[in-house]
A and B are shown apart, each in its own frame.
Chain A
Amino acid sequence: MKTSWLKSGIASVALVAATGAAWAEKANDTLRVAFTKELENVDSFFNSSREGVVLQRAIWDGLIYRDPVTNEYKGNLATSWEWIDDTTLELKLREGVTFHNGAPFSADDVVYTVNFVSKEENGVKTQRNVNWMESAEKVDDYTVRIHLKEKFPAAIEFLSGPVSMYPAEYYAEVGPSGMGLEPVGTGPYKVVSVVPGQHFVLEKNENYHDSPKGQPEISNVDIRTIPDVNTQMAELFSGSLDLIWQVPADQAEKLATMDQFTVMNESTMRVGYLNMDAAGRSGDTPVTDLRVRRAINHAINREELVNALLKGKSRVVSTPCFPSQFGCVEEAAKSYEYDPEKAKALLAEAGYPDGFTIDFYAYRDREYAEAIMSYLNAVGIDTDFKFLQYSALREQNMKGEVPLAFLTWGSFSINDASAMVSQFFKHGSLDDARDDQVLEYLNTADSSTDPDTRIENYAKAIERITDQAFWAPMFSYNTNYVFTNDVEYTPTADEVLRFTTMSWN
């Protein structure tokens, strides 16, 4: 008898509403999508959120494209590429491509974009995405050379991911903030209007070049920011949304029982971990002690978190990177089994037989954070819970004021360990470990072109990081995509919504 009256009630209301209204939107050829987080700036170099990546892939193109299914690199704005030497990449560009504002795409645009974003003072949000490039040089109108600072084997991966090409003249004129308000790219969708953080309207680019991304089918995409998942679902029921994503597991399970929606689950590269201030940047907190960090690692029941909370295609992760990434050697990682008794013993050994109190920060998935907190409380670590906005927490973290935080990283869907380990462990402002040995291994791994050397050194770095328990890696995320049966879409494992592969049934 469990809540059956309720379910059938919701279902019937939803059925009536969804069939009625979604019909109309299919007729209008407009796909309505919800974003959960407010996007700070549409300019893809000046945001670090997943929503930004989705828009980036729709509005702009990279020089290269990685097929999300086969992982094969294909030419996009470049047609071919070749390493001249270890630090120089020469690319032949596609001819006849135009930007949304009508400007033709040529080597000048590549040179301008690369030279702009690679300069640290221009303030690209995620430096790791661009700071491997030194500069670009025009050979002729359709040939460019990109000079690297040092050897960087993941260059192709980054060029097919976060580095998109901007129109030189327009970008020089309007800058990042102007680009955020009226974005112009070469991508499959043009931007019709932007209400910052709230509402984005896209329109099919009729002149889209013959790109490996495929041609867009749906004419209009209307994206609204709706922070509350209940509101999103209510709108899905009432037929004013066609697709929602990042739906929490519990809700997705319920939605899956309804006939008019398709629920698809895909794993993502996002890894959830606890960051511990081992270097003591936030003061002499207990987590500077290795035994305490190991105790925290032992206190968390990762299996239970994955099975009961995250569900879907999530898995336990013991590496400070996503296991599918190149160089993310799982065997090298020391994994900490769930053992609260051992955790208590380690705490006692470290001089905290009665535990201690520590500030515990988080910015998303409050529910997971609470569950983690409960594990910590169970071994005697009392937590002062601080739940902040992502940008605020990142800011504090950069200043080194966060002793213990539940963080996540999606690696910008880059299938290379450097996008995660090297992002956080090379003494940058977000590095709370500041370990010289790790830095050394990572420097070697990042700058080598020999795959074996890279694997060996990433493995060493991972071994050192997990042995010293700088982090407590916990699990990988999955995403639930829920859409009405009118929509045809097969999500990919990289947590990027690709409007070009969506169509109406």
Chain B
Amino acid sequence: MVDTSTTDSLLREITGPTPGQMLRKRVFGHQGLLFGGIVLAILLFIAIFAPLLAPHDPYAQSLMTRMQPPVFLGGDWEHPLGTDHLGRDYLSRLIYGARVSLMIGAVAALISGVIGTAMGVAAGYFGGRVDMVVTFLINVRLAMPVVLVALAVVAILGGSLQVVIVVLGLLLWDRFAVVMRASTLQVRGREYVAAARAIGASTPRVILSEIMPNIANNLIVVVTLEMAHAILLEAALSFLGLGVQPPTPSWGLMVSEGKNMMLFEPWMVLIPGAVLFLLVLAINLMGDGLRDVTAPENRS
């Protein structure tokens, strides 16, 4: 009678770890990905459960308790991160601000991702005239400075959450298009694509099940890059007074509102600046990590 446990270990020796196990190992062995993922997960959690987590109403003004310092600078626990220039709780505004930042980042990256990927893959796969048109559009788009165009459009249409999201979504597709086009060009000539075509697969099927999975790792990197880009742009626009309008809490706006007191109360700028930095860092680290663990060359 053979011990089952020995059979298992024998079996494992013969077959090696399953792909899932290998993926898990790669994921947990990648520090950047872990760090980014955890931070992002925490921020996402905070954003989703903001109403439950925020100690105060982020809009509640109390002029009599303005600019209370945070706990670590001698404030009290009533307002752990102090209060802003209108006496609103800094921590609560920070928590609600996470919603704005993450939403803008995600939705803008989604819009631009759909536009850019569609254009890039089409150009790469079909080539010829389609490629010429897409390349031309990319060049036109690259010739326009994003910040300037965003500023102009927001100045004309007026700043609001929706306008900022749409403007950024319509502006940030260029990198998607460039990267997706190049990646598609690379895999288009591969044997498995030719094989799929040979067995009579339709064009949509070839693109969706042969090409896309093999360029998806590049897409992930661009998505994270552009998400971080959009979040920073929103902060910049809000800082200039053209993004999200007060009293909506936004980290960029908080930096802008704190800047008048920067000389005497630097924490008013440092705190939102630091979380903004942390969020963008986390997204970028996660993007890098995801690319590393999903890249085809690392799979085997």
Contact = CB atoms under 8 A, between A and B. Distances in A.
A16 interface: no
B59 A374 contact: yes
Contacts, number: 75
A10 B63 contact: no
The binding surface of chain B is classed by DSSP as loop
A235 B61 CA distance: 33
A233 B63 CA distance: 24
B247 A387 contact: no
B9 interface: no
A156 to B, nearest CB: 41
Interface string A137-155: 0000000000000000000
Contacts of A309: 63, 66
Interface of A: 1-3, 6-7, 10, 229-230, 233-234, 248, 250-251, 254, 301, 304-305, 307-309, 366-367, 370-371, 373-375, 377-378, 384-387
Nearest to B267: A3
Q: Which 9 A-B pairs have the closest CB atoms?
A: A308-B63, A2-B74, A374-B61, A254-B264, A385-B245, A304-B63, A1-B74, A370-B246, A230-B263
Interface string B50-67: 000000000101011011
A23 B255 CA distance: 36
Given A2-B73, A370-B247, A385-B245, A248 B63 contact: no
A384 B245 contact: yes
A505 B105 CA distance: 57
A384 B158 contact: yes
A250 B259 CA distance: 13
A252 to B, nearest CB: 11
B69 interface: yes
A254 B241 CA distance: 26
A367 B59 CA distance: 14
A176 B149 CA distance: 36
Nearest to B265: A3
Contact of A248 (B59, B64, B260): B260
B245 A305 contact: no
A156 B262 CA distance: 46
B181 to A, nearest CB: 41
Given A229-B260, A301-B63, A307-B64, 9 more contacts: A2-B69, A3-B74, A250-B260, A250-B264, A309-B63, A371-B63, A373-B247, A374-B61, A384-B245
A10 B263 contact: yes
B86 interface: yes
Contacts of A251: 260-261, 263-264
Nearest to B160: A384
A305 B69 CA distance: 21
A105 B28 CA distance: 88
B261 A371 contact: no
11 contacts: A2-B69, A3-B69, A10-B264, A250-B67, A254-B264, A304-B63, A308-B63, A367-B257, A370-B246, A378-B61, A384-B245
Nearest to A387: B241
B127 interface: no
A367 B86 CA distance: 8
A367 to B, nearest CB: 6
Contact of A233 (B67, B85, B245, B263): B263
A38 to B, nearest CB: 17
Interface string B212-246: 00000000000000000000000000000100011
B266 interface: yes
Nearest to A308: B63
A484 to B, nearest CB: 17
A374 B86 contact: yes
Nearest to A253: B264
A375 B59 CA distance: 10
Contact of B266 (A6, A305, A373): A6
Interface core residue of A10, A248, A371 (most chain B CB under 10 Å): A371
Contacts of B158: 384, 386
Nearest to B75: A2
Interface in B174-190: none
Contacts of B247: 370, 373-374, 377
Contact of B63 (A3, A305, A384, A385): A305
B61 A230 contact: no
